[in-house]
Structure 1
Amino acid sequence: MVNLIASAHPFGDKVSSIGTLPVVARATDSEFIWLKLDNGAQLVAKGSATSSDFGVVVPFDDDWAIHLAAADRLYRHLRGLSVEHPLTRQRRQRLKHALRTVDGLHQGATYRRIAIAFFGEQRVSEEPWKTHALKSQIARLAIYGRRMIDSGYRRLLQGRHR
């Protein structure tokens, strides 16, 4: 069952938190209490509700499934349940390395210097650099990082990770 409620309300007073999540704005009207979290999420409840009476505002748009997944993670967090990150640890690490690679290149670092920063001097010096597998890996990270900067981050925000 879905209860349709009023549209979003303009926010006013500052409040501090709901559970462990920071609240940046609060608004009330004759029927509802609206809270806006620092991550942009909006919570709504009828009347003088306790924190367990709040619901999430989920827009009916093309990103419906993404919003629902985020709402589920918020619910699990507020209930103290385990929350799975939408990206695996390996994918987060690859993304970090890719963005750090692009930053390093913009600051004048070489592929070799970047590989040393990620993998250590010993591992980099185990093979000739010209044909080293890490050289190819850094090159791929640079391409991936540039692609993410150009528009790939939008795919991450939309829940598409490739």
Structure 2
Amino acid sequence: MKKAIVFVLGAALLLSSGSANVYADDLTKLENEVSEVMGVPYKWGGTKASEGFDCSGFILYIFDKFNLDLPRTSKAQASTGVYVEKSELRPGDLVFFDTSGNGISHAGIYVGNGKFAHSSSSNGVSISKLSEGYYKQRYVTARRTISENSYQKMISD
């Protein structure tokens, strides 16, 4: 029952992120993959839904669903792909933050409408706004690490 509630809440959050339709069947593949792990708890070093995720482990888990490879840590992930202006973000781009004061220490996957999916130490897998004070102040960069073909697969329903 708890998983069903988490799924419904996750789908509702994703749908509120700008999808035009209100039916779960109309989620993009990316939104669907994220909604399936909404609420999974944070676990430092975690890369499995059954055990929990840290931020980069969550990204690896989602990207693995699309047969995409990335380095293990958020700092290493931030040096892959190409730089993307914040105003040019599209779903599937990676966003990076300095939450420790020592450079990149947190990452998420942009899902559209100014929102990103991530595994936070306080909420586990969740959706946050780039405009939230905490993340707005700590935003560092964004990277596009996927091809146009992979992007099309992620945004299809």
Say yes or no: TM over 0.5: no
Q: Which has the higher helix share?
A: 1
Higher strand share: 2
Whose relative contact order is higher, 1 or 2, with alpha carbons under 8 Å and at least 6 apart?
Answer: 2
Q: TM-score, normalised to structure 1's length?
A: 0.24
Q: TM-score, structure 2 length as denominator?
A: 0.24
